[in-house]
Amino acid sequence: MARRKQSRGKCAFCGREMTKGGLSKHLSSCSQRQETIDAANAKRGAAKQLYHLQVQDAWSPDFWLHLEMNGDATLQDLDYYLRAIWLECCGHLSRFSFGGWGGGEIAKETRIDRIFEPGVELTHIYDFGTSSETLIKAVRAREGKPLTAHPIMLMARNNTPEVVCVECGKPAAYLCMECLYEYDEPGWLCAEHAETHPHDNYGDPVPLVNSPRLGMCGYDGPAEPPY
């Protein structure tokens, strides 16, 4: 059996492209990231405990993030960020827990430095009907001055998965919801076939966006960082 090709993404500091695991190691030694850290530490302001968080969809290894988060920020800040970059469609409820559905809920007011240490993993669940589950693992921590005025910095993210049109095999740009829901088929379409493909019951095909929630509930993007 052929080995599944791992998704790749780019380091936000130097632009090198590699897998999720490769970036986890690379970010600890990236010379351009270290230059950015040194420049931040030379500025006025208080040092903080900062956490490298590896975030991934629980069911699809194609979708992942590497974040650095201030220790004095809260899980509410992280929930807001995940909703903006991946999840928000209809204002659903969400929760954090150890161990998924069976674990006890962790209050969103909890500070990051009260819950995380290297190796600790939480589950974030968004929407208790058509649920999206996200795993958040603390990779490492450092003390220093934040690299951004915001509570979270995006250090790396998976590239948008490459899929091909079911009609012609060209790169796809749209998803047919009718194919997905009624026929349990991928429904990937190029721009040309998105205009002619039959889709009577679910409206026009939706643009592909870099989110594991694409095709779930009412999600249609924009799948962009909030800052």
What does the pLDDT look like over 68-96, one tens digit per residue? 999 999 999 999 999 999 999 999 999 99
Q: What is the DSSP string of 48-83?
A: EEEEEEEEEESS-TT-EEEEEEETTSBHHHHHHHHI
**Encoded tokens for 104:** 């006890």
Same structural domain, 144 and 179: no
Q: Are residues 151 and 189 in the same domain?
A: no
Q: Which two tokens stand for residue 144?
A: 């220093």
Domain assignment present for 85: yes
Higher pLDDT, 213 or 186: 213
Contact assessment for residue 199 and residue 177, using Cβ atoms and an 8 Å cutoff: yes
CATH number, domain at 115?
A: 3.10.290
Burial class (CB in 10 A: 0-12, 13-18, 19+), 67: buried
Tell me the residue type at 105.
E
Position 120 pLDDT exceeds 90: yes
Residue 49 contacts residue 71 (beta carbons within 8 Å) = yes
Residues 134 and 86 in one domain: yes
pLDDT for 4:
60
Same-domain status, 178 and 66: no
- Asked if residue 91 and residue 13 are part of one domain, the reply reads yes
The pLDDT tens digits for 9-61 are 999 999 999 999 999 999 999 999 999 999 999 999 999 999 999 999 999 99
What CA–CA distance (Å, rounded) separates 50 from 54? 13
Q: Is the pLDDT at 3 greater than 80, yes or no? A: no
Whether residues 64 and 152 share a domain: the answer is yes
- Strands in 76-205 per DSSP E: 94-97, 105-106, 121-126, 132-144, 152-158, 174-175, 188-189
Residue 24's SS3 state is helix
What's the domain count of the chain?
Answer: 2
Q: Report angle CA 165, 171, 172 to the nearest 5 degrees.
A: 50
Q: For residue 1, what pLDDT is reported?
A: 41
Q: Are residues 180 and 152 in the same domain?
A: no
Q: Which domain holds residue 140?
A: 8-158
Give the span between the Cα atoms of 166 and 188, in whole angstroms: 6
Q: How far, in Å, CA of 54 to CA of 20, rounded?
A: 9
Residue 193 phi/psi, 5-degree rounding, is: -80, -20
Please state the rounded mean pLDDT for residues 156-174: 95
Q: Is residue 222 part of a domain?
A: no
> Based on the domain organization, do 136 and 186 belong to the same domain?
no
Please tell me what DSSP assigns to residue 87.
I
Q: What is the pLDDT of residues 150-159, one digit of tens each?
A: 999 999 999 9
